[in-house]
Copies of this chain bind each other. A is one copy, B any other.
Amino acid sequence: MATMREVAERAGVSIATVSFVVNNTKPVSPATRERIEAAMAELGFRRNVVARALASRRTRILAMAYPALQHRLGSTAMSFVTSAASAASEREYHLVLWPVDNDGVELTELIRQGLVDGIVLMEVLLDDARVDALISTGTPYAMIGRTADPAGLPYVDIDFDATVDTALDHLQSLGHREIAFVSERPPSEEFRAYGAKVRAEAAFRGSCERRGLEPIILECAQNAAGGRKAAGELLQARPRTTAVVIMNEHAAFGVVSGLARSGVRVPEDVSLLSVSTSSDMGAMADPVLTIMRSPGIHLGRLAVQLLLSQLDGGEAPSTRLLPCELHQGESTAPARVRG
């Protein structure tokens, strides 16, 4: 691979001048610029990014940090990763994947290697040692999700209040008044204080209160069996329920079949609205689920934009809270009186 030195020799200039045209950092006369560009083309020159990184103290590499324990990132989490990678790539940054423990120790070690300019942190907990590590090492970062008290911190997140409100608007406009919320049971103690779950439940309670509805919240395991069990519990506890808001992608289909086993049809008898879900997921079900689509793709991009605004001084994104958008499927319908 040709180096700057070789380009400089061939063009009859110094390597500094080559650097100026490659980076467009200083004015260079048209004639010299042309000679240099010709030399670069002939030699097929590509600037070595490692040398550049060392000399400039900027690697143009970002890290995406996520919990190592979590082998299965949900489809929403995955969309963070792929969209962040694309956004980074468009700005000529690279994105490395850092599966790290939640205690922040491994993250600190990696930071101190000097490989990355900044970090996007996923799956943020309400009280998160990784955020402390980020702050105490002075590393530029952006969170997808947020801690308990995130005021002043750089984050992007789903707007759970707006999302739940829209969900309840939709269901109320269809005449539903007995609405339940099904969330997910944390797979392990470590994820108990996962912000998304806590905020969504709080949003549901708040929204119900403002509407004069009586909230009921159940949680269940993330699979069909969990969903079926929740459906059974719900029919037991609140037989008059006519609509369910679920934030548990993997259990949604199980709720449908659990209701069906008790002779309750979706959407004829009970409406089901799946929140923070991908369209793919919704389209896999029959009936196709009415969903509030997760803004995962936008959040990944937004997080990178927020991070790069700290690094390169670009414009920081103005909105940092994105609601899930309602996509009408076949699983919600006007309420019917039930006994």
Contact = CB atoms under 8 A, between A and B. Distances in A.
A253 B250 contact: no
A113 B85 CA distance: 17
Nearest to A256: B286
Contact of A46 (B51, B98, B112, B286): B112
Interface in A148-185: none
A49 B114 contact: yes
16 contacts: A46-B112, A49-B113, A68-B86, A72-B75, A72-B278, A72-B280, A73-B82, A85-B99, A96-B96, A223-B280, A223-B283, A225-B283, A228-B286, A250-B280, A254-B284, A254-B286
Nearest to A53: B50
A95 B94 contact: no
Interface residues of A, number: 56
A45 B49 CA distance: 24
Contacts of A44: 112
A224 B82 contact: no
Q: Which of A95, A280, A283 has the most CB of B within 10 A?
A: A283
Contacts of A228: 286
A59 interface: yes
B223 A71 contact: no
B61 A96 contact: yes
Contacts of A254: 284, 286
